[in-house]
Each structure stands twice: as structure tokens, then as C-alpha cells.
Amino acid sequence: MRQLLCTFLLIPMFCNAQLPDGSIAPDWNYTDINGNDHHLYDYLDSGYTVIIDICATWCPPCYSYHQSGTLDSLWNNYGPDGTNELRVFHIEGDASTNLDDLMGIGSNTVGDYVTGVEYPIIDTADVSTLYQIGYFPTIFMICPNRQVTEVGQVPWTTVYSSTSSCVPASLPMAANIISTDEYRSGCYAAYTNDEITFQNGGLNPIISARISVSQNNSELKGINWAGNLETYQLVTLSLGYFSLNNHLDSLVYRITDLNSGDTLATYVVDIDQRHVIPNEFTLEVYTDSYADETSWVIQDSWGNVVEYYNYVNDESDSLMTHEISLPTTSDCYFFMWYDSYGDGIAGAWGNNPYGLYGMRIHQNGVIFMDYTSTDSWLYGEEKTIYMAVDETNSILEDTVQTNLYPNPFNESINIELSKTKSLKLNIYNGLGQCVFSKRYGTTSYVNVERNSLPAGLYLFEMEIDGVTSTKKVLMQDN
């Protein structure tokens, strides 16, 4: 695993995850050092692309970039006195600096950032937090549709070329799916979409649309939305629970029927595949030269830790073998891998004699999971692998998926079925006493009130078309 590198190009400062390209730029409203006010979204709504250079006065690479004249050239050629396409800002992003430092006369500076500069200079550390920057300098391009892209320390001609990707709204009707946020409801064929955010990318207001998710051209869930969304405005919705058709094909989100028209926007999400494994297996892990940064945990569907291991430095560049025995009861498990540094198990930082890095699971020569590579694996701080154990080693598929939410809950809980079926519910307390029983008839959704039941852990027993399943539910006080 790679250790921290400082180069002449940037100065690492924070433990933040950089604001990803394509994110919606947080809005800001600041006064520059000359007393002029600037509101980001006002500039974007006027059709300008905005360039911001977030830096610190004491940072040598920041001063080198300032002296390169990149911001000056962008401002002179494409600012208010040029073609009037861009707005350019220098933002002093470190709270420990002041105006004297910007002027090159303070105690925390490497030079004068002010003299001869015509573009606005803003002194605030808030932007560093808003934009989750990880190092100085960080240079962002913000398009009129509010999407942000890091352009880096490149010549002014390259920065300007990048602005060609900022396509302003031109069609009467258009929509952009900005992001989705979903999680697997257990490791069976169930997902829950918490959020889908879409934007009006057209000139006319959007007053209605259909939002859906599909797999292999088969719709899994869809909702109709109505409201009033002006150009570049955003709305965030939830599709809720849906079942997968399979565990291979990606999820495709779609926005259709804008104002009852045919305009289409799509957004593809790769699903987390589920691996079916035996309850007893051999885990092989091929470490790199920094094994002490790697650890793993196996949790069952209730969050109980059933196996874990933290590697130590003496286990670097080794083949580590673990014999794992999980309960024989059919269940799903979450195999969570962690890398404290965040650059994975990597051949670039290893000298494993086997020439492999990563992990695999096998039993009696049959491989059930293989994440080994001659290059690297687990790039990033963590990775979760979904596994299902079945006594017959067959794929675990419920005829009807159930989703109980929120869990834990205070006043009431929702029970959602993937298909319309007859439902009978029994609730048992920690002593095994039945404290609630009701037959709902044919339904796909019910809301269960807590009433006067005390806080604690309960067992929900659901009889669905004669097939009984149970879920643990936590009731808690406000």
C-alpha cells in the first residue's frame, strides 16, 4: 500500500474525499477583498462558467500556479473585458491566513498574490469545507448547470478548452439524472432506492415526469412525479423498495414523459453482485508490503460479527490462509474489507512471491470467489462483498421479498411485499409472548402502529400465502 507522497504539484491538507466530478457545486455568496459581493448561482444562472482556484498563501505550488498567469489569461481573454464567457476567482482557503499574507507582507506567505491582479480575490476557508478539497491548490470548473469538475494545474488554454463541455440549456425539454443512492436490503434480490436526484436541463419548466428503474429492459419500480422545476433546479425523490430480476445486469434509471412528452434521460448503476458460497470454505489472502493496513469482517444479516482478522506488518507479502466455518443455516453475509490508507492491496507497493494480490474463496479445489490480481485490488478505503450461504449451495431466491422500514422505529413501521399476497402478522416480545396478531388479507403494503408497546427487540412473524418468515425489529423511544 502506497505511503504518503508529497510532490511539487500539490500540498495534501485534509482527510476529505474530494468532491466528485459531476457533483452539484455548493452555492456560496462572499465579499472579495475589495468589498464587492459575489453570488455563485447568480453567475451560473446568467450563463457564465466559473473557474475557482482554492489555495493557501503559504503553499509553494499555489504561488507557482499564480505566477504562471493562468487565471490572468482566462480573465483577460474570456472575462468581462474579453468575450464575457467566464468568471474567475482566486479563493484563499486556509483559515490561518489573512490579508497581509495575501499581499505578501504577512508571516504565513510565500509571495504577493494581490498586486496587478484584476480578477476577484476572496478570503474564506468555508469553500475548502464546502468543496471537500484534499489539497492546495485545487482548481474547479463550474458549469452553468451547476456541475463541478476539477481541471487541475493546467495551462489556461487547456482550462478554456475544458469549458466546451459546459453545454447550456438549449432544448425546450430536457432532464439530467445527477445521482442515485441505493442499498441492498439484505443480500437477496432486494434493493431500496433512498434517493434519485434529477435536474431540469431544458428551457421550459418541468411540471410532470415518470421516474423508473429497470433491469435488462424490464421495469422494476416506477413513480409519477408532479411539481414545478425551473431550468437547472433539482428535485430529490425516493423510489423505495424493489426486487431484482437477476444479480448480473446493471440498474438503469430513466426519466420519461416530461410534461407528457417523450424526452428521455438515463443513468446506469452497476449492482453489487452476490456470491453463493458453502458455509465452510478456505479464504486465501495475498498481501502487499503494508499488510498492517488491511483488515476484514464478516457479518450476518443482523449485523453480528461472525469472523474478523486484522493483519500485522509481519504478514506483509505473504499468502495468508484462513479456514472459515459459518453457521449452516441459510443466511446472507456481508464480507467487509478495509484498507486504512485507501490505496488497496497493490502490486505497486508489494513484493509478494506468488505475484498475486487480493483474495479468493474455495472449497476442495472449487473456487467460489476470486478477487486476485497481479496488479491491485480493494482500491479505496473499504469494499463490501455480498455472500449467501445455502445448505444445498443453491441460489437463495425468495418467492416474495419483504421490506420492513424504518428499522429501528418509534411510532410505526411499514411492511412492503414485492408481490401482492395474503399476509398475517404476529409480533412476539423478548419473552416469546404474542403481543399482536392480525390478518390483513391480500395486500402488498401495510403500516403497523406501535400503540402502547414498550421499547425493545421484537420478532415479526409474517405468514405470506402460507409461507412463514421472521424479521427482528427494534422499537425505540424518541
Please give the Cα distance from 149 to 39 (Å, whole number): 19
Cα–Cα distance measured from residue 110 to residue 67, given in angstroms and rounded to the nearest whole number: 12
What pLDDT, on a 0 to 100 scale, did the predictor assign at position 272?
64
What pLDDT does 33 receive? 97
* pLDDT profile of the chain (478 residues), mean per 10: 36 55 91 97 93 96 95 97 97 95 96 97 94 90 93 93 87 88 60 82 94 88 94 90 73 90 79 76 94 92 87 95 84 85 82 91 83 77 74 43 78 84 85 83 89 83 75 77
Residue in 55, 64, 57 with CA at minimum distance from that of residue 93 = 55
Domain ranges of the chain: 11-165, 175-269, 275-389, 402-475
Q: How many CB atoms lie within 10 A of CB 194?
A: 13
Please say whether the structural domain 175-269 has been given the CATH code 3.40.50.150: no
pLDDT at residue number 224: 95
Q: What is the pTM of this model?
A: 0.57
**Residue 215 pLDDT:** 84
Looking only at the bridges linking them, the beta strands covering 357-363 and 366-373 are antiparallel
Set of cell numbers at residue 369: 470467489
Q: For position 380, what pLDDT does the model report?
A: 62
Cα separation, 296 vs 405, in Å, equals 28
- List alpha helices for 284-426, DSSP H: none
One-letter amino acid of 392: T
Q: Which CATH class is domain 402-475?
A: mainly beta
Sign of CA dihedral 310, 315, 318, 323: negative
Contact 213, 253 (CB under 8 A): yes
**Which class for 250: exposed (0-12), middle (13-18), buried (19 or more C-beta within 10 A)?**
exposed
DSSP state of 381: S
Q: How far separated are the first and last CA of the chain, in Å rounded?
A: 44
Q: Which fold has domain 11-165?
A: Glutaredoxin (3.40.30)
Query: H or E element: which one contains 389?
Result: strand 382-389
CATH domain 275-389 topology: Immunoglobulin-like (2.60.40)
Residue appearing with cell numbers 506483509: 316
Q: Are domains 275-389 and 402-475 of this chain identical in fold?
A: yes
Q: In whole angstroms, what is the distance from residue 255 CA to residue 271 CA?
A: 19
Q: Are 79 and 42 in contact (CB under 8 A)?
A: no
Cell of 426: 404476529
Q: Cβ(141)–Cβ(16) under 8 Å?
A: no
Identify residue 368 by its one-letter amino acid code. F
- CA–CA dist 4, 23 (Å, integer): 26
Q: Which residues contact 12 (CB under 8 A, 6 or more apart)?
A: 4, 6, 134, 135
Instruction: For 118-178, give the DSSP string.
Output: -S-EEE-SHHHHHTT--EESEEEEE-TTSBEEE--S--HHHHHHHGGG-----SSS-EEEE
